[in-house]
Chain A
Amino acid sequence: MTDFIEKRMPPVLKVEDLAVAYKVRGGEVEAVLNVTFDIQRGESHGIVGESGCGKSTVAWAILKFLGDNGYIKCGSIKFQGQELVGKSDEELRRLRSDQISMVYQDPMQALNPSMRIGDQMKEVLTVHRGLSSSAAEKRCMEMLERVAMPDPANVMLRYPHQISGGQQQRVVIGMALLNNPALLIMDEPTTALDVTVEAAVLDLIADLRRDFDTAIMYITHNLGVIARVASRIGVMYAGQMVERATVEDIFKSPQHPYTQGLIRCVPKLGTDKTGSILYPIRGRVPPPDNRPAGCIFSPRCDYVRPLCREQRPALRVIPGTNNETRCHFSEEIDASQWQPSEEIELPTLSGRKVEEQPILQLDNLKKYYPVKGNSLRDVLGLGEKRYVKAVESASFVVPQGKTLGIVGESGCGKSTLVKTIIGLEDATSGTAKFLGFDITGNISGRDKKLIQELQMVFQNPDSTMNPSFTVGQQIGRPMRLFKTAPKHRIRAEVIKLLQAMRLGENYYDRLPRQLSGGEKQRVGIARALASRPDLVLCDEPVSALDVSVQAAILNLLLDVQQEFGTTLIFIAHDLSVVRFFSDYVAVMYLGQIMEIGPADAIYRPPYHPYTEALLSAVPIPDPAAKQKRIRLEGSVPSAIAPPTGCRFHTRCPRRSLLPDPEICQTEPSWQMASDTHRIFCHHTLETLSSFEQVITTT
């Protein structure tokens, strides 16, 4: 029943003053403290916070999945009016099977790789509900249809690795709902998914919540996702819930300084590099065993006063608002008057004039991977040769000192393109000229000077840093190799570079395991810059980082570009990050560049239908923003046998607008919206320009 007439119902979940601790050698660590919230029937309550804030620990405490050394220190968890703390394992097991379900970030954690999908789903019903196999199969098929799975009968027979990530997550959500739970806990269920797939899964969650009236506890670090999916939000910091309000109130008038800081450091889609700087939150999250005595956020707060350092504030409703905030002085804080403190490192965006000479020129660059067949004909070399067409006819020019952002979903070829440029892959055909020199050949044949000028920053610094070498050794290595500094000056140069990365001299002798995620990435950037390259390729350098750290790294990269005049190619899947950071943007789909042009031009019509779909899918951290809803059907085709002609035509929502849709099976031509903006599409520029703006902010 709708809320047309309000019905008073008890909450499905009520958590009061929850504290969770882990026993460690020498004592215990309080991971979560003073957490209070409740979730009503049919409500989606978001828990948002950065890594290590304790949001997943709260979920595990509800389910009693804390592990042998974790325990609930104090507080109450009431589910459907019944206290869970102190319940026996058997009672909790029954509750978990009948009334509470959980969906994890990685669907492969929940799916058994050695069992067919159908068998795993049926097991939920045959074991917990005692249904017969045939009755269970019928229910599972209905559920797969309900979660919009294409060809449910076929999917029931497949193994998890035979379906895509988005489909796996649909299966897991379906499994979680089979028993019609009263509470569904979702821990970052869309973080590992591409943005268009994520959008479809978020839509599904909203539909299912409405139909099943299930209470949802949605855990994420992504403010854009939470704005789309939740009606109320709890913001967590260092184990505490620091603010709680409706989604509209949190974004329109956040009361806690931490919430205000978080919102300031998220890139907004409607802004550009010069229009909106990202303001990272200064300082670091305190470790759980070394929290300040007073307000936990006080060391990083711009409004701190003596009382904040002495006394922990309670969660209270701020007069004149509906927000519950854990702050002594919220009423006196006016977020609109905030000014960045001197400690925050902000980029200088004006100033350095760059020569817009091309530094990198690609012309019909292709990268194909041969596919080995299994048949006898293939073994004898008589079979048809097949290829994974990872990059198809990439052509563009990157001016010196500018940033080209490459955006696209998993499997679009952006990483392959970058690896081909840097020489980790040989090009199949086409040309790539860097500083006028051909770089398509094998890297072993490349001049050392060229290698020096072309460097890379990787997505996950953990896997690219040698755990046995210190920071100083790793940054100094390129300097020694390329002789950019005399041997006796290398240490000084490394320290200078560390300082440019806002890291102190004391980092020189640290090992990678002694660094945080953001610090490791700064070292990765320093290592890339050590040889003073002209061009740095950044492969998703911030996607693994928390939002406030991400802001600091992006500002740092901008500063580096300004100071050293370095050209950057920046790969990301987050359209708002690319928008903020890049001068030019290329949108890739299934190995093909679909659109390329200045960043300002890409985000408004005329745009390619795929760009339009990407923009409609990206979660926006502003619940008041209006976003057109365009969802792509099906999944990305295989790169071994991509669609003929336009690779996007099998999923294009604008295909029917063409007078003859069959034309899409022929290669499109480039539509020139300007000298620097082109779109690879059969639609005319007039048609492309007539598309409405996807996002309108109030």
Chain B
Amino acid sequence: MLVNDCMMRHPIMISPTTPAAEAQKIMAENQIRHLPVVGSGKRLEGLITSQRLALMPADLGSLNVWEITRALGHLTVKDVMVKTADVHCITADRTIEFAASLMTRNKIGCLIVVEEDNVVIGLLTEADLLHAFQEMLGLPAKGVRVTVRMPEDERFIHLAAVMVENRWGVMGIGSFPSPRNPGYWDVVIKIPHVSVDEVREALSVLTNMTIADIRVSASPGE
């Protein structure tokens, strides 16, 4: 899955001369936390986040309420935005794992997706990555979700052979180093049209692997 597959195309964008108050209103009405700022040709000039619009008490200083109102009234997006140099961007052909690592390393909640000349074509947020994660593990599909734990020198092909032999369709699959079990890997598979007992019995032939978790998963709520 690439960034192109997960990003939101045509995000809401504003110009740098938009009053900050209007930007805040747009974000509140549309329930968004990130607003790319673009100039002509949709070229990226900055980013507005809800944090940037929150005023620190220390910034207000000794201004009285009228002075504060006057100052706020003249604020434009350009005055409060994160400038381009500090905005993290990504291109649409990158993998979502790379996008996720960029976000975690920089402790940010979104990436602006750009093409040549810094033209904004989309927005990738934490929420988009969480959606992708859910879909990769087959969340919305009804089926049996099983976590198989195997030593890291074990070969996945043995598990695959069981899947093929039993003609399991796979709605989602993921693998990762088993947390708190060094030397082991966990493989999560979502299998439709089977029962828990069928899966247990089928996997019992794999002597070097254990079932760390197994359950019926039918909807995002379960």
Contacts and interface: CB of A to CB of B under 8 A. Distances in A.
Interface in A86-101: 91, 94, 97-99
Interface in A522-577: none
A5 B26 contact: no
A81 interface: yes
Contact of B10 (A7, A41, A82): A41
Given A7-B131, A10-B30, A82-B26, A98 B12 contact: no
A94 B18 CA distance: 14
Contact of B139 (A1, A5, A97): A5
A1 B41 contact: no
Given A91-B15, A98-B40, A4 B140 contact: yes
A519 interface: no
A340 interface: no
Contacts of A41: 8-10
Contact of A81 (B29, B40, B127): B29
Contacts of A10: 12, 29-32
B13 interface: yes
Chain A interface mostly: loop
A592 to B, nearest CB: 47
B77 interface: no
A121 to B, nearest CB: 16
B36 to A, nearest CB: 11
A213 B9 CA distance: 7
Contact of A1 (B5, B31, B38, B119): B5
Size band of the interface chain B makes with A:
20 to 34
Contacts of A147: none
Contacts of A7: 8, 127-128, 131
A304 interface: no
A448 interface: no
Contacts of A1: 5-6, 128, 131-132, 135
B121 interface: yes
Interface string B144-160: 00000000000000000
A284 interface: no
Nearest to A130: B41
B35 to A, nearest CB: 9
Given A10-B32, A98-B42, A5 B14 contact: no
Given A1-B131, A129-B117, A94 B10 contact: no
A549 to B, nearest CB: 39
A9 B119 contact: no
Residue with the highest number of chain A CB atoms closer than 10 Å, among B12, B131, B134: B12
Contacts of A214: 10
Nearest to B138: A4
A246 interface: no
A566 B195 CA distance: 73
Q: Which of A12, A81, A82, A97 has the most CB of B within 10 A?
A: A81
B134 to A, nearest CB: 6
A128 B41 contact: yes
A81 B31 CA distance: 10
Interface string A42-65: 100000000000000000000000
A556 B73 CA distance: 67
A9 to B, nearest CB: 7
B8 A80 contact: no
Interface residues of A, number: 31
Interface string B109-141: 000000011010100000110011011000110
Interface in B195-221: 220
Contact of B42 (A99, A131, A135): A99
Contacts of B121: 180
Interface string B1-26: 00001101110111100000000001
Contacts of A5: 131, 134-135, 139-140, 220
Contact of A129 (B119, B131, B135): B119
A9 B8 contact: yes
A245 B134 CA distance: 31
A131 B128 CA distance: 31
Nearest to B6: A1
A180 B10 CA distance: 8
Nearest to A41: B10
Contacts of A91: 15
B4 to A, nearest CB: 10
Nearest to A79: B12
A180 B113 CA distance: 14
- Max chain A Cβ within 10 angstroms of own Cβ: one of B10, B13, B32, B135: B10
A4 to B, nearest CB: 6
A123 to B, nearest CB: 14
Most buried by B among A7, A80, A131, A181: A80
A182 B134 CA distance: 27
Interface string A26-42: 00000000000000011
A4 B40 contact: no
Contacts of A213: 9-10
Contacts of A338: none
Contacts of B116: 135
A180 B220 CA distance: 34
A101 to B, nearest CB: 12
B183 to A, nearest CB: 34
Interface of A: 1, 4-5, 7-10, 12, 41-42, 80-82, 91, 94, 97-99, 128-131, 135, 179-182, 212-215
19 contacts: A1-B128, A5-B131, A5-B140, A7-B131, A10-B29, A10-B30, A80-B12, A82-B14, A94-B40, A97-B40, A98-B41, A98-B42, A128-B40, A129-B119, A130-B40, A135-B116, A180-B10, A181-B10, A215-B10
Give the 10 A-B CB pairs with smallest separation, nearest first.
A182-B10, A10-B30, A213-B9, A129-B41, A81-B30, A81-B26, A80-B12, A81-B12, A98-B42, A5-B131
Given A42-B9, A180-B121, 20 more contacts: A1-B5, A1-B131, A1-B135, A5-B134, A5-B220, A9-B8, A10-B31, A12-B10, A41-B8, A41-B10, A80-B10, A80-B13, A81-B32, A82-B12, A128-B40, A130-B41, A180-B10, A181-B10, A212-B9, A213-B9
